Structure 1
Amino acid sequence: MRGRPLLRGLRPRLILAFGALALITAVGTTAGSYFEARRVILKEVQDSVGIRVRDTLRELAPRLDQPLTDASLGLILGALNTPAGNDEVAVVHRGRVLEDIPGTVARVPAELREEVRRTGNLTFQRFNRDGRPFFAVGTTIAITRPVGDDIPPEVYVVVDMAAQQRNLATVGTTSVLIAAGALLLAVGLAVFFARQVLRPVRDLGTAARRMAEGDLTARLRPVGHDELADLAATFNRTAAALEDTLKELRDRESAARRFAADVSHELRTPVATMMAVADVLDVEAARAGGDLPVAARTVGEEARNLAGLVEELLEISRFDAGVAALTLNTVDLADAVRACLRTRGRKDTVRTDLRDGVVADVDPRRFGVIIGNLVGNAFRHGAPPVEVRLRADGADAVVEVADRGPGLPEGLGDRVFERFVKGDAARTRILGHSAGSGLGLALAWENTRLHGGTLTAGPNPGGGALFVLRLPLGGVR
């Protein structure tokens, strides 16, 4: 199972990206500033102490007595002492050690002393003792007039770096505080600019949702001349075109419905006349014999089909005009189903499983239309045996109509209840019989909706199609 993303939406991701960039920049800048300050401070100490020691000894060397006495060594010690007395100075010569602070030589690293003895050059080293930082300088004094095998004295200066370390700590703390402030400022700016940048996107989403809900008047207000403004203008043009197209389609649909209603009304009287003539023709053709009876029956059947189509179109036009109404009666639905099957000549060809005592407030005529159209559809497009089952389910009455035919075509689903929709393009008029107008299920659905019920279509577990009608027992909800 895939986990849900931690960051959903563009704004959190933009803020995170800005924050990460600001954090990286702040950390890099802080680290760079700290290490540069550290380098400058250490170099300043090294240069100042080194230059002072070198210049002092260079100036002092010609004035030293030869051979070197304790007084000469003391002169060196005094010359290197600073007025502030922050440095520790030690002079070592032939085993003699002069220190302004006892233990100074002991604090000098052995590596530094070895390097000074070996090279005699000015040598530096940083080290820590007891958790405190020190900086040591060591060198030898060049003897101007050596006596015999006299060796130059070693001079060491040890500087306590605690003050410099405190300065570095202050620099680090200040840098961190500045970086934190800059990070907070960057995040605040990121939130502000993300809101500004994404506002057109949010407006676009809101307008798109309004359009999805049916409000085709939704429009955006382009601001500026950037890509988002172009997107808003494109959306507005698309929405306007869609609104115009849908309006045109609705106008055409309305015109088509008015035309169908007008034609149905105009055909009603001629069709009634045709039905009367067909009945007379049946009687006369039976007397004449020959092929006339077959022809007369065909004409009569087609006239009845046409009359049924006209009645269905008229009924559909009533729903479109909003004038279809219910005449509710309290009805035993089992009796109503039996009466419907009997009226349509299906009493002996339909299997029934009807629970008695299921009583509901329905319009008997419209309920009969629903059942009759479902059963007729099962015989027309399915295959026997056709079953009708009735039961109560809570506050609903449930009627199921099942057949054993090929079932509903794949992908048709609830579109089967749309007008003039037929599940198979090959359903044509066969052997002189009509394959249906495509309005029967649409009328069944409209009458179900008028009752406040539902009508669904799906596969029958035993093969074929299954239509399930649910009506509230207490009348329209």
Structure 2
Amino acid sequence: MRKGIFAGLRLTSLRLRLVVVFALVALTAAVSASGIAYWLNREAVLTRTQDGALNDFRRQMQNRAAGLPLKSEQDDLRVAAEQMAGSGSGYSVLLLGERDAGKPIIGASDPDRFTLADVPASLQDAVNTERKVTENNAYPYHLFWQRTQRGGKPYLVGGTRIIGGGPTGYMFKSLDAERADLNSLAWSLGIATGLALVGSALLAQAAATTVLRPVHRLGEAARRLGEGKLDTRLRVSGTDELAELSRTFNNTAESLQKKVADMSAREESSRRFVADMSHELRTPLTALTAVTEVLEDEQDSLDPMIAPAVALVVSETRRLNDLVENLMEVTRFDAGTARLVLDDVDVADQVTACIDARAWLDAVDLDAERGIMARLDPRRLDVILANLIGNALKHGGSPVRVSVRTEDEELVIEVRDHGPGIPEEVLPHVFDRFYKASASRPRSEGSGLGLSIAMENAHIHGGDISAANSPDGDGAIFVLRLPRDASGIADSLRTGGDRDGQEGQGQ
């Protein structure tokens, strides 16, 4: 079903802003044009009506009122007023004369409709004021008019005086018909303005669709490019700015694809080199390890001058062996060939076995209830625990406390030492590869890969490890969180690669 014009528009969308801008421009233009048209038509209508009425009233005053006797009777004034009002211009007439000084008489064409009280005092003063005759003023009296209202209806009131002592006349014409015409005009202009507004919105929608459709396609292509689909390209048509933008996007995507391919090839080559080198080193390391074991067994019977050198060789050979195994495991993670081999394990038994295998029973306090079952890779869990506990023993202080608990469907293992803690500037980097807290100990026993491998093994289970200092300032705390059932994670992993070798057991 096709959506409405404004369906789904957000206040922050470019489409809505375009529609609003178009509508505001159209509304401003339409209101301005309508206002000017209304004002011009209003002045034209009123001017035409009042000019016609006033000109007719002037002629009637000249033809009829001027012919009355100087001291006309009231009936004469009334008859003359009725004759003037009946001329067809649709106004009422009021004639004022004087029988004696200070004794005015009034003749009205329609006393119920028009009386002297309807004539504004300012208009009466203007009509009765005699002006000096000069070169620029040929007559002492003139015709004056004024628009007024009575009962909410508009009227035109005009008046003049006969020169030489004749009567004073006033006319009173309703402008209600003209107001009705002007109201109809205003409604018409309002409807036209509304139609213009709707039309502008439709045009804005069409223009926005024309402009924003390529922008939307560009946004979708950029999103796909960000998701790693580097072969994304836009169809280019035309020669306008949007077409040029699409060409620029395609060129950028092509360049990015080429650079990523080059980087991936170099990274794969580097990974392969490390893996091959690690495999090649294992053969001589196996022989060296056998020799060092023999030397270590005979260390007590060696010459005291040679014993320290033998001990150094044994220590460095073990360190090199751990480094090679760690590098091989890192290459598996980087290549995406690491996989899980799941089994149902009792977590307490697994932790106990890890501690016992490394002779840490005297240095570790274990707080774990038996019967906490989890479906995990026991070998990788052993690697995680060995690295966390070994790191705590090496850099922290005894005793190291290991506690196991469950939270919902999550397994939580906490490893806490009683050492000096981890410096704040080091905390963000403890899981970085080859990172060592002290730059002055570049040849410390650890390889700098232990905690990084522990984190990778946690991630492959769908878990995580966090590091922090104890709130009371007594040591560091590492918290391992793993799902109690990693079956879903295992199914989604890519399988492959060998599982030769063992992970490092400490930094």
Same fold (TM over 0.5): yes
Asked if 1 retains the 8 angstrom alpha-carbon contact of 2:158 and 2:170, the reply is: yes
| CA distance in 2: counterparts of 1:282 and 1:156, whole angstroms | 137
* Contact 1:91-1:154 at 8 Å conserved across structures: yes
Q: 1:401 Cα deviation (Å)?
A: 1.8
Q: Which residue of the partner structure matches residue 13 of structure 1? A: 17
**TM superposition score normalised by structure 2:** 0.80
Q: Distance in 2 between matches of 1:260 and 1:372?
A: 24
**Secondary structure at 2:458 match in 1:** helix
Q: Deviations over 1:68-106 (max 9, x none)?
A: 655975785466345436221232221333332234343
Q: Would the aligned equivalents of 1:429 and 1:435 in 2 still touch at CA under 8 Å?
A: no
Q: Hey, what's the Cα distance between the residues in 1 that align with 2:197 and 2:174?
A: 36
Shift of 1:230: 4.3
Report the counterpart of residue 168 of structure 1 in structure 2: 182
Alignment match, 1:396: 410
| Cα 1:250/1:428, change in 2 over 3 Å | farther
Q: SS at the partner of 1:304?
A: helix
Instruction: State the Cα distance separating 1:318 from its structure 2 match.
Output: 4.2
How far has the Cα of 1:426 moved from its partner? 1.0
Does 2:470 align with 1:466? no
Show structure 2 runs of 5+ residues with no match.
1-9, 99-103, 131-140, 489-507
Q: What letter matches 2:439 in structure 1?
A: A
The separation in 1 between residues aligned to 2:423 and 2:238, in whole angstroms, is: 54
1:424 aligns with 2:437: yes
The alignment's C-alpha RMSD in Å is: 3.1
Distance between the aligned counterparts of 1:214 and 1:466, measured in 2?
37
SS at match of 1:273: helix
3-state DSSP of counterpart to 1:290:
coil
What is the aligned partner in structure 1 of residue 446 from structure 2? 435
Q: Distance in 2 between matches of 1:201 and 1:16?
A: 19
Cα drift, residue 203 of structure 1: 3.1
CA-to-aligned-CA distance 1:280-319 (integer Å, 9 cap, x gap): 3345554341321010010011111111222223334444
Report what 1:128 is aligned to.
Answer: 149
Cα separation, 2, equivalents of 1:263 and 1:307: 13
Do structure 1's residue 276 and structure 2's residue 290 form an aligned pair? yes
2:194 matches 1:180: yes
Alignment match, 1:308:
322
User: Paired residue for 1:3?
Assistant: none
> For the structure 1 residues 134 and 324, does the alpha-carbon distance in structure 2 shift closer, same or farther, using more than 3 Å as the test?
closer
* Aligned-partner residue type, residue 368 of structure 1: D
Partner residue, 1:114: 125
Distance 1:395 1:116, change over 3 A: closer
Q: Distance between the aligned counterparts of 1:61 and 1:315, measured in 2?
A: 123
Letter aligned with residue 442 of structure 1: S
Residues 412 and 423, structure 1, Cα contact 8 Å, conserved in 2:
no
TM-score by length of 1: 0.84
Judge conservation of contact 2:462–2:486 (CA < 8 Å) in 1: no
The unaligned stretches of length 5 or more in structure 1 are 1-5, 144-150
2:365 aligned partner: 351
Distance 1:9 1:461, change over 3 A: farther
Match of 2:455 in 1: 445
1:204-251 CA-to-partner distances (Å, cap 9, x unmatched) read: 333333333333333444555555444444443333333332222222
1:101 counterpart = 2:101: no
1:40-439 aligned at under 5 Å gives the runs 40-58=44-62, 64=67, 67=70, 69=72, 77=81, 80-84=84-88, 86-94=90-98, 95-103=104-112, 104-106=114-116, 107-119=118-130, 120-143=141-164, 151-221=165-235, 224-283=238-297, 286-319=300-333, 324-403=338-417, 404-407=419-422, 410=425, 413=428, 416-417=430-431, 420-424=433-437, 426=439, 428-430=441-443, 433-436=444-447, 438-439=448-449
The more displaced of 249-258 and 218-227 is 218-227
Query: Aligned partners of 2:309 and 2:247: how far apart in 1?
Result: 66
CA offset digits 1:139-178 (Å, max 9, x no partner): 11234xxxxxxx2211222212121111111111111111
Distance in 1 separating the partners of 2:440 and 2:353: 30
> In structure 2, do the counterparts of structure 1 residues 44 and 453 end up closer, same or farther at CA, with 3 Å as the change threshold?
closer
Decide whether aligned partners of structure 1 residues 324 and 39 sit closer, same or farther in structure 2, where only a CA change above 3 A counts. closer
**3-state SS of paired residue (1:426):** coil
The corresponding residue for 1:147 is none
Q: Name the CA distance, whole Å, in 2 between partners of 1:109 and 1:453.
A: 94
> CA offsets, 1:368-401, max 9 Å, x none?
2221122223334445443222223333332222
The match for 2:464 is: 455
SS in 1 for 2:421: coil
Over 3 Å counting, the alpha-carbon distance change for 1:409 and 1:224 in structure 2 is: farther
CA distance in 2, matches of 1:441, 1:204: 42
Q: Residue 32 of structure 1 aligns to which amino acid in structure 2?
A: I
How many residue pairs align between the two structures? 458
* AA in 1 matched with 2:129: R
Would you say the 8 A contact 1:397–1:470 is kept in 2?
yes
Cα deviation for residue 10 of structure 1 reads 2.5
